[in-house]
Amino acid sequence: MIPTSEPFLKMLDRQGNRLMALMLALLHAAFVWGHGHLWGQALALAHYGVFLLWQPVFRSQQQLTWPRVLGVLAVGILLAVWDHLWAISLWCVLLAGLLGAGAMGVRDPRQRLSLWLAVAYLLLVLFLWLLPLGVGVLSNHGADGIQPWRDVILLLPLWMALLTPSEVNRKLGMVDLLYTLLFALLIGELVLGSYAAMHLLQTSYPMGVLVSVATLLLALMIVVWLWQPRGATTGLKNLFSRYVLSMGLPLEEWLTELSQAAEAEPEPERFLERAMNGFIHLPWSTGVGWRSLHSRGELGQPSAHMITFTQAGVEITFFTDSAINPAFALHLRMLAEVMGYFYSAKIREREMQANAYSQAVYETGSRLTHDVKNMLQSLKTLCSAAEHSTPDQAQSLQNLMQRQLPQMAKRLEITLDKLKSPERAADRNHILAREWWRNLKSRYGREGLSFEVDDMNSAVWLPHELFDSVADNLVQNALRKRLSEPDIHIGVELVTTPVPTLIVCDTGEAAPGVVVEKMFHSPVSSHDGLGIGLYQAAKQARGLGYRLELSRNGDGEVCFTLWQETLL
């Protein structure tokens, strides 16, 4: 189009109704009053010029290619030179189809009313004047009786001009091609059907029009019934929807390739490259380009026709072998969204793997820190015993050190081994129950605890690290609880039959409900520690076939129990 000044374009938009009215008035003057005269051909050119100013097909500032410019000029020249009734009728049919399709996509009631008035005017001109003259029903001398009615229909464009001006929507794609063809074919069927009915049935022109209208209505009713029939029968609606959804590409095959790429490639960027490779094999595609935060690439050959979408951090550019219409652009947007969803799922999967690794490192480190903390508490107890012992207690102090220091050295060595190899899943070192019980009593013999065991000489084997970790956690928690409740009593009991069971009880206050809900399932907020000791102990117990639980929780009786759930 020839570039036009912006104020002039805005004026045309604001006067859309009156511009259409002028276009139809010039059509009436050229094809009805001036048919067969040179001045009528001149008015036909004027009508076509006003149509170009009004038309909603091309954008106002769009630069048309030379083939399109020549096509636009050719239509105008033919319309003016080829002064034939059937050519004029064809132009009215196409114009009515364009206006009717535009009315289907307009929301403004004033503009919609103007468009339907224009369609009504074109149909009346077509069936009251042009078609009767074309089929020979009216002669130039016998048309005097219908001329008043022919000119009365000019009131419709006049009504359009008197309506409040409404702005014309000049966005490309306002007029849908499918609706335009549908309206034009329906009107053309009425015209040709009327002509055929007149000759086949040897009837009058009004009866021929009536038969054509009745036949069209019957055909439309059949199509409506076939579109969505009652019952379980699949109608044309599903078939048409399936065709539209697979328009331009084999959608099922592409989705299959996409799912296979998602399963085969765990890395998001490699998946993106493999998935993009599927686009260049499609019949409409010449190439595709993409750009994400960490990669970019291009496959195939770029072309002049391209469209870009951004979804989930991926910018995808499709290159096609022909111009992209709005319906196909919507289809490509759907493909880009599917790609974006798969890519974002891959990103989340990688983030979850990284979080799982970080969580494992955190849990391993916090668990080892908790073990070191318990050993430090035991070492402080030994230091306190050595600091407050008297000379006559030297032998007993020496015996205590000989028992405890090797145990602490062994536990520290185990902790360092776990730090070197955090992937070790479970503790397979076992110890006799009676030996473990003696070591526990030696560690906490000076803390004022009560110890009970069902069989001191039991030959039952216990997982050494698990029982040490659980016992240290439970006893240290009870001792910290004693700092705020000095009068509580702490008891430790070992049961070896029927299954190994460790019970630690205190007579303090019950644990709060919020803490109980999270105690063995996630870290618990703690002011004097990491709050992860019981969570890690319970997780370790489950890995070895044991279960740690809060068996009793009441004021004056709080008991934790570790017991063997399954036999190893």
Q: Is the separation of the CB atoms in 303 and 286 below 8 Å?
A: yes
Give the residue, 196 or 136, on which the prediction is more confident.
196
> Residue 91 phi/psi, 5° resolution?
-65, -40
The mean per-residue pLDDT over the stretch 493-499 comes to 89
- Looking up tokens 């006893």 gives 475
Give the residue, 49 or 521, on which the prediction is more confident.
49
pLDDT band at 419 (very low <50, low <70, confident <90, very high): low
The mean per-residue pLDDT over the stretch 265-279 comes to 82
Give the residue, 184 or 240, on which the prediction is more confident.
184
Query: For the chain, how far is it from start to end, CA to CA, in angstroms?
Result: 85
Q: Is the separation of the CB atoms in 158 and 172 below 8 Å?
A: no
Strand partners, 491: 450, 505
Q: Over 90: is that where the pLDDT of 503 sits? A: yes
Retrieve residue 262's tokens: 């998602």
Question: According to the model, what pLDDT value does residue 146 have?
Answer: 66
Question: According to the model, what pLDDT value does residue 276 have?
Answer: 84
Q: Over 80: is that where the pLDDT of 416 sits? A: no
**For residue 282, which of 320, 317, 311 has the smallest C-alpha distance?**
320
Q: Over 60: is that where the pLDDT of 561 sits? A: yes
* Helical ranges in 294-325 per DSSP H: none
Question: According to the model, what pLDDT value does residue 425 have?
Answer: 42
- If you average pLDDT over each of 4-13, 319-328, 425-434, 539-548, which comes out highest? 539-548
Distance CA 81, CA 74 (A): 10
Question: According to the model, what pLDDT value does residue 284 have?
Answer: 75
- pLDDT tens digits for range 367-383: 666 667 666 766 776 77
H/E segment holding residue 141: none
- pLDDT tens digits for range 433-480: 888 898 888 878 778 899 999 877 778 899 888 898 888 889 888 888
Q: Over 80: is that where the pLDDT of 489 sits? A: yes
Distance CA 361, CA 372 (A): 16
Ordered domains of the chain (ranges, CATH): 6-238 (no CATH), 244-357 (no CATH), 427-568 (3.30.565.10)
Question: According to the model, what pLDDT value does residue 250 have?
Answer: 57
The mean per-residue pLDDT over the stretch 196-207 comes to 85
The mean per-residue pLDDT over the stretch 274-303 comes to 83
The mean per-residue pLDDT over the stretch 259-288 comes to 81
Distance CA 433, CA 471 (A): 13
Least confidently predicted of 53-57, 243-247, 289-293, 309-313: 243-247
Q: Over 80: is that where the pLDDT of 538 sits? A: yes
Q: Is 552 exposed, middle or buried (0-12, 13-18, 19+ CB in 10 A)?
A: middle
Distance CA 130, CA 197 (A): 17
How many degrees, rounded to 5, is the angle at CA 547 between CA 545 and CA 551? Answer: 160
C-alpha 499 chain-centroid distance? 53
Spell out a b/e string for 48-82, using b for 16 or more CB atoms within 10 Å of the CB, else e.
bebbeebbbbeebeeeeeeeeeeebeeebeebbee
Distance CA 510, CA 526 (A): 16
Retrieve residue 253's tokens: 């095959």
Question: What mean pLDDT, rounded, does the chain reach?
Answer: 77
pLDDT band at 84 (very low <50, low <70, confident <90, very high): confident
Q: Which amino acid is at 122?
A: L
Q: Over 80: is that where the pLDDT of 60 sits? A: no
Distance CA 445, CA 397 (A): 12
pLDDT band at 530 (very low <50, low <70, confident <90, very high): very low
Question: According to the model, what pLDDT value does residue 175 have?
Answer: 59
Distance CA 462, CA 464 (A): 6
Q: Is the separation of the CB atoms in 537 and 523 below 8 Å?
A: no
